[in-house]
Amino acid sequence: MQRSLTSLSRRDFLALSGALGLVSACGGSSGLPSDSITSAPSFGVASVPDPIGSLVTRWRSDPFAQGSYSFLAKGSEPRDRDVLAAPSNSRLFFAGEATHRDFPATVHGALLSGQRAAEEILDGDAASVIIIGAGAAGLAAAAMMAESGIEVRVLEARDRIGGRVWTDTSLGMPLDLGASWIHGTSGNPVSALADSIDAPRAATNYENHLVRGTQGNVVEPPDFPRDFDDVTSIEHEFGADIGDLSPAAGDEGDEFEGGDVIFPNGYMEVLDVLIDGFDVSLGSIVESVDTSNETAIVNTGEESFTADAVLITVPLGVLKSGSIGFTPPLGQDREGAIDRLGMGLLDKVYLQFDEIFWEPEVDLIGYIGPKRGHFAEWLNIAKYTGEPILLGFNASSAAEELETMTNEQVVAEAMTALRDMYES
């Protein structure tokens, strides 16, 4: 999940703000103490330069994700994740962050769900398995079963592995377009993978931040709009508007301790550790799964594959779209859980510049602009890599609106925000 400008966890913030319905109705006051804002010199330039490079994500428009991560929507409850995770007829299994009740919407939740599904399959008599999806859950399950001697084939619709972990290097350095952080390093299975290859990590200090307005000024907490914390502390966490959240959302799940870190070399080098002992077929868009007979059949439209069991690890958004047909049907309980659970949206815009014109030592920069939620949070990539890059976040309805625009229009909106923030 995306962390926010407040140092509070989402559960703590919701507890302080009251029930979700109350927060939504009242907007709430700032949950930030005045001394949590970084004291910084006045930064400003006569003219903010145009970027020399940019990257824009569109996770809702992505047919193989259809959103960023799951959340408890109105009408859903944590047990819906258990229903989604349950095996069917000893041949059809499910994994992915949406199926993990303790750590949903995280990479470590996806990894753990893949290992859980692998254990379920290993408890049976399957000698061969087809895994649909080469994200964190699918790769974790494949690695575990391959090591145990099961014949494993992974079918991936994309032309790359990783799923919602996606490290891009087109701007000359690794930048994560999907997951960025290990959320809670102590005891986290992603930390163990990173340790195995000595992957560099950089800690994010969420208290090292400031908030700017439209006049190039630093805004203090007493002057925050009533709903600023709603946007940055809740909607960016869940990828959903407050009004769309279940009252149970704030109490869901658990958290590892130890703070959060990002990967200066990109997240994918960590998932690459899992690829050993099995085949991955890229560009394999699955159309149907038939587990009605002793041998399961998976069709891509171009090829058919058979195995003793099938593990589904595609994102919740793909299941909600109904693009994969199942024989026999998934059943009323599972279909109901898929329908009730929400698929949130958090999009990113990376902007690369010739030089740094903002505070170089601040981790996060907030923006209070004229459009609610638009570019309300920025991560200072320069703090971690030395590269003059800023990363802007948009979530929920703000992100949905921006996905209707062209990349050029989105970058123009981002630049309007930065010029509001820094031109003096």
Q: What is the CATH number of the domain that holds 129?
A: 3.50.50.60
Q: Does residue 199 fall inside a structural domain?
A: no
DSSP string, 323-342: -SEEES---HHHHHHHHHSE
- In the numeric block, which tokens belong to residue 72? 């408890």
Q: Are residues 91 and 154 in the same domain?
A: yes
The neighbouring-strand residues paired with 73 are: 245
C-alpha–C-alpha distance, residues 145 and 149, integer Å? 6
Same domain for 106 and 78, yes or no, is: yes
Q: State the helix-helix crossing angle for 107-122 and 189-196, rounded to 10 degrees.
A: 90
User: Among residues 315, 343, 371, which one ends one of the domains?
Assistant: 343
pLDDT of residue 44: 72
- State residue 41's pLDDT score: 47
**Residue 42 included in any domain:** yes
* Residue 253, pLDDT score: 93
Q: In Å, how far from its chain's centre is CA 25?
A: 27
DSSP state at residue 249: G
Q: Which residues in 253-276 are b (16+ Cβ under 10 Å) and which e? A: beebeeebbbbbbbbbbbbbebee
Is 182 a domain residue? no
Sign of the torsion formed by the C-alpha atoms of 181, 366, 5 and 38: positive
Of 14, 48, 44, 43, the closest CA to residue 31 belongs to 14
> Cα–Cα distances in Å, from 197 out to 138, 161, 272, 274?
20, 19, 10, 11
Domain boundary among 326, 343, 360: 343
- The DSSP bridge pattern shows strands 288-290 and 92-94 to be unpaired
The pLDDT value recorded for residue 30 is 28
- Containing domain of residue 106, as a range? 69-164+268-343
Q: Domain holding 226: CATH number?
A: 3.90.660
pLDDT at residue number 48 = 96
Residues 290 and 146 in one domain: yes
Closest by alpha carbon to 175, among 105, 67, 261, 264?
Answer: 264
Residue 90 sits in the same domain as residue 158: yes
Amino acid letter, residue 98:
A
Q: Are residue 15 and residue 125 in the same domain, yes or no? A: no
Strand, coil or helix: what is 375? coil
**Separation between Cα atoms, residue 271 and residue 140, nearest integer Å:** 9
Place of tokens 């994994």: 95
Separation CA 55–CA 57 (nearest Å): 7
Any domain includes 186: no
Nearest-10 crossing angle of helices 107-122, 136-147: 40
Q: In terms of domains, do 418 and 272 share one?
A: no
| pLDDT in the model for residue 26 | 29
The pLDDT tens digits along the chain (424 residues) read 554 444 344 444 444 344 333 232 222 222 333 334 444 445 677 799 999 999 999 999 999 999 999 999 999 999 999 999 999 989 999 999 999 999 999 999 999 999 999 999 999 999 999 999 999 999 999 999 999 999 999 999 999 999 999 999 999 999 999 999 999 999 999 999 999 999 999 999 999 999 999 989 999 999 999 899 999 999 999 999 999 999 999 999 999 999 999 999 999 999 999 999 999 999 999 999 999 999 999 999 899 999 999 999 999 999 999 999 999 999 999 999 999 999 999 999 999 999 999 999 999 999 999 999 999 999 999 999 999 999 999 999 999 999 999 999 999 999 999 999 999 7
Domain boundary among 283, 308, 343: 343
Please give the structure tokens belonging to residue 27: 């907007």
Residues 104 and 232 both lie in one domain: no
133 and 277 co-located in one domain = yes
Total domains present in the chain: 2
Same-domain pairing of 251 and 241:
yes
Instruction: Give the per-residue pLDDT at 1.
Output: 52
Residue with tokens 């507890």: 15
Question: Are residue 247 and residue 291 in the same domain, yes or no?
Answer: no
Beta bridge partners of 182: 261
Those residues whose C-beta lies under 8 Å from the C-beta of residue 364, and which sit 6 or more positions away, are 5, 204, 206, 208, 209, 377, 378, 379, 380
Residues 278 and 385 in one domain: no
